[in-house]
Amino acid sequence: MFKNLTIKSRLIFILSFLLIFVLGIQVVGLFGMSSAIGGLKTVYLDRSIPLSQVTHIESLLLHNRLAITSALVMPTREIIENKTATVEKNIETIIRTWEAYIATNLTPMESKLANKFALDHRKYISEGVLPAVAALRANKIGEANRILVEKIRPLYPAVSETIDALVLLQIDETKIKYTEEQKRYQTIRNILIASIVLALVLAALFSLIFIRSIFRPLEDVVNIARSVAAGNLRQEIQVRSKNEIGQLMQALKEMRDSLVDTIGRVRDSEAHTRALLNNLIVGVTSVDEQGAIRSFNPAAERIFDYPESEIIGQNIGLLFPPQGQGQDQHIDYLENYLKTGSKAFGVTTEVAGLRKNGATFPLDIAVVEMHGGERRMFVVILRDISERKLVEEQKASLMADLESANEELKSFAYVASHDLKAPLRAIGALADWLSTDYADKFDDEGREHMRLLVSRVHRMGNLIDGILQYSRVGRVRETPVAVDVGEVVEDVIELLAPPPNINITVENHLPTVIIEPTRIQQILQNLISNAIKYMDKPRGEIRITCIAEGEQWKFSVVDNGPGIESRHFERIFQLFQTLAPRDRIESTGVGLALVKKIVEMYGGSVGLESTIGKGSTFFFTLPKTSLIDNSTKGTAA
């Protein structure tokens, strides 16, 4: 039955038995020790205390006799009062102590002696001590001396002998009781020692049984595990029990089966990896710590024209042209990693490769270290970038052609604007001269035609200037400086000189930004001038605000003008687009396009919110990067 128990159950049974046994020993020991302590307490209560009481009585008797004697020797009033009071007090103490003594557990012999002492002491007190005290207090020294000689001295020996006998009897009884309790304690100690020895013997016996029933099967499990670890996966594993060792054997069997399955999967994975490497379009080779090639996939064969059988075992330096003192480029790269552990290792690097026929070609290479096992291995990934380099050369050539065309376009814009503005200025001057000198010659229709001519000449000039400004954005750059936007707004308002019916207000603090001064002025001037130009209310209100939105500042120009339909929101930011006829409101259609181009050049955005009849809000954002904390108090114009 014991063999069918699990190891856990066996261990619990053994430990429980030993625990109960030890607890039993402890209980017996505690009971014995308690009994021994009780015996010692009995010795103290029954013998030690009565002995002290009897001794105290004997001392007081002697003290009374000496007190009476000293009073007779020096019979002064003070001494007589002092000594007689002491004697009376001692008599009361003797009576109380004697009553406490006879209340203890007395042996028959003690009772007999106690009765005799009581009689003798009563006679000694009544016939001797008390009459002597009375005589002394009456100052009858002679009478007191007679009582001392005739009564106290003859009666004292009987009392003294009885009390001495009680003292000796108490001492003898105390020795007897102490010896008995000591023997009892030794007996209990011997029992405890024997119990401990027995517990050790039982523990050793149970340990031997436990070892025989557990460690032999464990040795079998260890031997089977070593056999499996050595590669004997066909080792027969039999499970003969259901206890923990049987469960361990079952787990070992399942581990063996799982290991067989894992090895099969690893072999399949190896075959899959081999197939994957064989079908990669980039070259992959593995290299050991000495630089010897250990594997070479088909793509690498195609890149370098080496068959795998020929390159395996060769140093990887064979794939690169020599570089200085006969050493190849890649070996320097690999040795640098081994010496310094460079973090750049694994990053793609452009080098020159060497084909079997001696031709060199551009090559991308990346080396990755494989960790595992004691040996260090490296995977080298190789890509032929000959076609990419050709494309890059073509791209560089196209970029050069584009830059050349851009320069020609810049020159054309400047020359065209100069050549256009020269005759335009002549036409404008002639029209002004005609309008002035021949004003009385024209009728109303003629004067209107001349006004339109002058207006369109000015519009053409503004349009040419706008085109030049638009073409220069992003091409002609100023040095960015710290610009106080609040001051720029004040300058723009002063420059535009709005009519009295239009009120312009800066509502909150405007920051200082790092930007080209001309660009921020162009943005604000175009937005504010548009708000003034298209105002249709008798009392115009234009508000300029700025708020922080995440990592950007959002500037807004708000007006109470006519508003813009939502279908025109995108169109008005396109070049040469206007909503009102140019003959009614002078506009080139370049301003908002210029604003949009400048804002986007700085990584911001521009937009519009509008309600017909209530007004519009044009807003733009600029990144907070490179902004300087500053503020400008609100101003009004």
Question: Would you mind telling me the total number of residues written for the chain in this entry?
Answer: 637
The reported pLDDT for the residue numbered 466 is 57
226 within some domain? no
Q: Which of 275, 299, 332 is the last residue of a domain?
A: 275
- Whether residue 103 is contained in a domain is answered as yes
HEC profile for 233-254?
CCCCCCCCCCCHHHHHHHHHHH
Place of tokens 């814009």: 413
Is residue 378 within 8 A of residue 367, CB to CB? The reply is yes
pLDDT of residue 463 exceeding 60, the answer is no
Q: Specify burial of residue 312 (Cβ count, 10 A radius: 0-12, 13-18, 19+).
A: middle
Are 73 and 136 in the same domain?
Answer: yes
Lowest mean pLDDT among 38-42, 266-270, 404-408: 38-42
User: By residue range, what is the domain housing residue 254?
Assistant: 233-275
| 540 and 574 belong to one structural domain | yes
One domain for residues 112 and 186: yes
Say whether both 68 and 193 belong to one domain. Answer: yes
Asked if 58 and 177 sit in the same domain, the reply is yes
Question: What pLDDT is stored for residue 637 in this prediction?
Answer: 37
Q: Do 45 and 176 reside in the same domain of the chain? A: yes
Query: Any idea what the Cα angle at residue 422 is, between residues 418 and 426, rounded to 5°?
Result: 165
Query: Residue 88 falls within a domain, yes or no?
Result: yes
Q: What angle do CA 549, 551, 556 make, to 5 degrees?
A: 40
Cα gap 185→36, rounded to integer Å: 6
pLDDT surpasses 90 at 446: no
Q: Given a cut of 80, is residue 73 above it in pLDDT?
A: yes
Q: Which of 226-240, 300-314, 395-409, 447-461 has the largest mean confidence?
A: 300-314
Task: Judge if 380 and 398 occupy the same domain.
Answer: no
**How confident is the model at residue 627, as a pLDDT?**
43
* Res 616 pLDDT > 80: yes
Q: Which residue has the tokens 């002025």?
A: 521
- pLDDT, one tens digit per residue, over 148-199 is 888 888 888 888 888 888 788 778 777 777 787 777 777 877 877 887 788 7
**Residue 215 domain-assigned?**
no
Whether 403 is covered by a domain: the verdict is yes
The mean per-residue pLDDT over the stretch 64-90 comes to: 86
| 290 vs 407: which has the higher pLDDT | 290
Average pLDDT of the chain, as a whole number:
77
Last residue of a domain, one of 472, 494, 516: 472
CA–CA dist 587, 458 (Å, integer):
10
What residues contact residue 285 under an 8 Å CB cut-off, 6+ apart? 293, 294, 295, 296, 297, 300, 316, 379, 380, 382
Position 271 in a domain: yes
- Quote the tokens at residue 422: 């020269």
- Widest Cα–Cα separation across the chain: 187
Give the helix, strand, coil percentages of the chain, each rounded to 5. 65, 15, 20
For 300-314, 438-452, 569-583, which range has the lowest pLDDT when averaged over its residues?
569-583
Identify the domain boundary among 369, 384, 399. Answer: 384
Share of the chain above pLDDT 90, in %: 7
- CATH code of the domain covering residue 373: 3.30.450.20
The verdict on 400 and 417 lying in the same domain is yes
Contact 354, 360 (CB under 8 A): yes
Burial of 218 (0-12, 13-18, 19+ CB in 10 A): middle
Q: Is 225 inside any structural domain?
A: no
Query: CA 399, 403, 405, 406 torsion: positive or negative?
Result: positive
Q: How far is CA 81 from CA 70, 134, 145, in A?
A: 12, 11, 16
pLDDT average, residue stretch 214-224: 72
Q: Are residues 506 and 614 in the same domain?
A: yes
pLDDT tens across 54-63, in order? Answer: 888 888 888 8
Q: Are residues 532 and 545 in the same domain?
A: yes
Query: pLDDT tens across 345-368, in order?
Result: 567 788 888 898 989 999 888 888
User: Do 151 and 242 sit in the same domain of this protein?
Assistant: no
- Which of 404 and 473 is assigned the larger pLDDT? 404
Residue 268: both structure tokens together: 């399949």
CB neighbour list of residue 315: distance below 8 Å, 6 or more residues apart: 290, 291, 292, 293, 331
pLDDT 10s digits, 137-154:
888 888 888 888 888 888
Spacing of C-alpha 239 from chain mean position: 48
Total structural domains within the chain: 5
| Amino acid 330: pLDDT | 47
Task: Identify the CATH number of the domain in which residue 586 sits.
Answer: 3.30.565.10
| Average pLDDT over every residue of 296-305 | 88
Structure tokens at 151: 């009564």
**φ/ψ of residue 626, rounded to 5:** 70, 20
Band (326; pLDDT cuts 50, 70, 90): very low
- Whether residue 550 lies inside any domain: the answer is yes
- In this structure, are 534 and 402 located in the same domain? no
